[in-house]
Each structure stands twice: as C-alpha cells, then as structure tokens.
Structure 1
C-alpha cells in the first residue's frame, strides 16, 4: 500500500471519528436543553412531615413513611397520567432515584426521592437557564482518548457511599466492579456503577483538569457492556457534565475517592459557561 493510500485511510478514519462525535454531542445537547430537561428545573424543595406550601407549585405538601401527600386548594389541580387531580393525592412510597412527573400549569413537576429524602423540582420551559443556554464547551475529540480497558468484577456488588452536590446528602450505589486501564503507560482504575442499559456501566471521576478547565466536582462516562473477556472501551471524548455543573437545584453524586485520576483527561466536556466566574450568562 502506498503512503498516499495509508494517509487517505487515516484521514477518512479521523473524519468519520469526528463526525460520529459531533452527532453524539448534538443529540446530547438537545436532550439537555429539552423543554422539560434539567436546564428547565427552577427550584428544589425538600419535603418534611409538616405541611408546607411552595410559591412555584400548587398544593400543600408533606411526606412520611407512606410517601408524599399533597392537598390541593380551591382552584388548584394537576395532571398525572392524563388524569386531572383535585383536592388530595397520595403518591405512595417512591423508590430511591425514582420519581413521578406531574403536569402543572405551563410546566411539569418532578416528585422524586434522592438520598433518602422526598423532593419536588418544578421544570419550566421559560426558566432563564434553559432560555439562555448556549451550549457546553468541549475539548476537540481525539482518538488518543479512546482507551481500552478490562472490567474486573467484585465477588459480589459492593455498596458504595458517595457524597452529593448538596452538602450533607449521601448516595449509595452497588458497584459491580472496577475498570482497569492505562494512559501513556500509567496504570489506572475506576470503580464502576451500573449503567442505564442492562449490562452497561457508568463511572464518575475527577482528574487533573477538574477545577481548571473542567467542572470541579465530577464528570460522568457511560461504558458499554464488557465482552466475554471483560474488555471495555472508555471513550473519554464522551465524558459529560452532570446537572450540578449547571444548576444548584441538582443532587448529583460525587465520585468515589478512588476515582480521582492523577492524570489530566483533556477530553470531553469542559466547565459550562454558566459556571465561569463573571460570565454574564450565569443564571444558576
């Protein structure tokens, strides 16, 4: 094969690699900026056993062992599964990291459980953070940050307690194992949690760019299911920010202590414009 043919093949690969990444990030940005996505969250309310009213949601709320309860006043209502609800509604116990979406006038309301607490989060399409969102800066994608690794399962899933973006809050995840890999000859590993798709994995991490060019608290990386030999691919070009990078109304988990990488992962999403000091678009 001639040099020109080799160069052409390499160029074609790089073009295809960039195009795939651009399409992936376009779809990710669209989901983030959805009319009821996380950029639309306009408040965070913690439910207690005592009745409370909040200025941006209908009803009087409390919670307990039987889950959240709302009592709606005259002229107040909302919609669940297409059914209009008035007066009183009992949601029942909500599982950790689960939630119910309620339709309220001009918006939706997330009734959820995070870190052992029941919470309310209204999501309004006209929230300034969403309206003025102008995308997230990233490192240019590069094939060097597509890293091969090996998944090493624990003997049994390991309960792992991590901190949260909200001070004093804790999250507990069952970690099925760790991912071992190397960058520039440096051996590294990351504790992995279960991913969204069955068999897939998810890792939370920080690195030497955290607090410099990337968000200080965390970034997230989705990893496909290991093959029969435990092999996985970590594409750090697709490292993304969690909601807490954009808004204080998030309860995002922090990485386990062992997931603080000593190298600079100069790939993936950078600190959002909304978090940069002095940025005029900061509305979080």
Structure 2
C-alpha cells in the first residue's frame, strides 16, 4: 500500500528530475573557466562547445569582471547586442545570467576572490542523452529523528573539490542521529532558509551509489530537533557535469554503514 510519505517522495523525485533537466539546469553546464587561467582573456575551445567557441575577452577587474565584446561576436548583455566594455558582477543563476551567446548562457561567478565564467548550453550532449536519476526505493526506516548541535561560532575548513583544487567549506555545527543503536554525526552548514546541508559518503559510495552525496534538512526546531531523511539525499551537481567544483565530504562525514536511500547515480 502506498503511503502519504511515499507519494510525497515520488512528487519530490519528479520535481527534482525536472530541475536537473531544465534548459539551464546542471546537465547543461558545458564548462567552467577561471579567468586566472586565461592567458589572453579568451575562453579556449573545449569539448562541450559544439564546435562554437565562446567569444569576447574576459578579464579580472578586481571587484568585477571586465568583458570586451566586438560587434561581430554575437554576444548579448541584458538581452541587447553587445559592443564595447561591460563590468559584470556575479550572476544569481544560469537562467538569469546577463550575458548570452545564442541559446548559451554565460554565467559570471566568484569563489574565494577568484572569478570564473560558466557556459550553460541547453543543447549539451548530457542533457540530450539523459536517461533519468537512479534512486533507491523509498524506505521510511531512513527518515530518522535528529538533533542539531550548533557550534559557538561558524568554522571554516579546507577540503578538496571535484576539480582537484582545495577550497574553504563553512560549517555551522553537527547533526546527530541514531543508526543501528549508535549515534552518528555529520558536520553541516546552515543554509539561508535555516535548513542544514551536509556533504557525506557512506559504505555504498563508489559502489552502488555515487562517490558522495548531499543531504538537506528543514530548519531545526528551537530545541535542535530535526528530521534527517536520507530518502531525499541528492547527487551533487558534479554527478551531472564534470564542470562543477563540488566539495568532497569533510573529515568525519564518511559513514561506516551503508545508506541505501535517496538518489544513487546517473545511469
């Protein structure tokens, strides 16, 4: 018999699939280019560009990115043909990026004082060939009562990222829950809406699931109580595109037990 929780999980999974397959969702990310790596300000040809190079010259101008566009580049800024120089700050998301080249969106982003341009292409091979997200079946046993224990103040540690570079990861506290009669703990970050976010691995990672996953929870109650629902563990963006720079799990966030719940892998 199907329960309300299973129906809600099914609706969540369908919504999640829609987000991933959106024209400027994770599957459409074709490349990430750090301006510090561009010798002449030109984004080089790359395997995800459909044979169409990214035009313009891109330079780090301190608190902004300086884009120099020629009339023949075919770029638009704020929906208008671009010619001349433009100072660009970080975009809020791919779909609302100010710069475009045909159907491609060129998102300006900043990480730890470094600027980059991301190329989102709705005609990417990954999006065209996507066959769904592999998941473990919903299991109510993996929805657990948890306890959030915030640190006195936020901490920042350095972890390796999927692109091989090390970057800072902010942590706000610990999320504790009981599993097989033993307390387990994940180090988490507080999100803007008050919810918690963990990067974790478990004994399925790299075997029957992707090498690590993300877990989001609702905001904890005033006394720290919060539901830890591993049925809603999700694949990190780098599972859909190698151009993402997802952080690896911090020390202590690799569970020694199998967690056969949530998203598993991209087939």
Report if TM-score (shorter chain) is over 0.5: yes
Task: Confirm or deny: 8 A CA contact 2:156 2:168 kept in the other structure.
Answer: no
Task: Confirm or deny: 8 A CA contact 2:93 2:107 kept in the other structure.
Answer: no
* The 10-residue stretch of structure 1 (235-244 or 78-87) with the greater mean CA deviation from structure 2: 78-87
Greater radius of gyration (CA): 1
Q: Which SS does the other structure have where 1:75 is aligned?
A: helix
Structure 2 residue 225 is matched with structure 1 residue 231: yes
Structure 2 residue 48 is matched with structure 1 residue 53: no
Structure 2 residue 157 is matched with structure 1 residue 160: yes
- The CA deviation at 1:229 is 1.4
- Give aligned pairs, total: 256
Q: CA RMSD in A?
A: 2.1
Q: Which SS does the other structure have where 1:148 is aligned?
A: strand
Task: Confirm or deny: 8 A CA contact 2:149 2:175 kept in the other structure.
Answer: yes
Paired residue for 1:185, among 181, 185, 188? Answer: 181
CA distance in 2, matches of 1:98, 1:256: 26
> What are the ranges of 5 or more consecutive residues in structure 2 without an aligned counterpart?
46-52
- The CA deviation at 1:183 is 0.9
Q: Which SS does the other structure have where 1:257 is aligned?
A: coil
Distance 1:115 1:130, change over 3 A: farther
CA distance in 2, matches of 1:188, 1:124: 41
Paired residue for 1:242, among 215, 220, 236? Answer: 236
Task: Confirm or deny: 8 A CA contact 1:114 1:251 kept in the other structure.
Answer: no
Aligned equivalent of 1:256: 250
Alignment of 1:84-103 (within 5 A): 84-92=81-89, 94=90, 101=97, 102-103=99-100
- The CA deviation at 1:64 is 4.1
TM-score, with structure 2 as normaliser: 0.89
- The CA deviation at 1:83 is 4.5
Task: Confirm or deny: 8 A CA contact 2:136 2:261 kept in the other structure.
Answer: yes
Aligned equivalent of 2:131: 134
> What are the ranges of 5 or more consecutive residues in structure 1 without an aligned counterpart?
1-10, 274-284
Task: Confirm or deny: 8 A CA contact 1:98 1:112 kept in the other structure.
Answer: no
Aligned equivalent of 2:26: 38
TM-score, with structure 1 as normaliser: 0.84
Structure 2 residue 188 is matched with structure 1 residue 200: no
CA distance in 2, matches of 1:143, 1:269: 15
Q: Which SS does the other structure have where 2:70 is aligned?
A: coil
Structure 2 residue 114 is matched with structure 1 residue 117: yes
CA distance in 1, matches of 2:16, 2:254: 25
Aligned equivalent of 1:66: 63
CA distance in 1, matches of 2:63, 2:223: 45
- The CA deviation at 1:115 is 4.6
CA distance in 2, matches of 1:81, 1:261: 46
Q: Which SS does the other structure have where 2:31 is aligned?
A: coil
Task: Confirm or deny: 8 A CA contact 1:39 1:129 kept in the other structure.
Answer: yes
- The CA deviation at 1:103 is 2.3
Task: Confirm or deny: 8 A CA contact 1:98 1:113 kept in the other structure.
Answer: no
Structure 2 residue 12 is matched with structure 1 residue 24: yes
Which digits, 9 at most, give the CA deviation of each residue in 1:63-91, with x for residues without a partner?
Answer: 14233211112312533444443211112
Paired residue for 2:210, among 208, 215, 221? Answer: 215
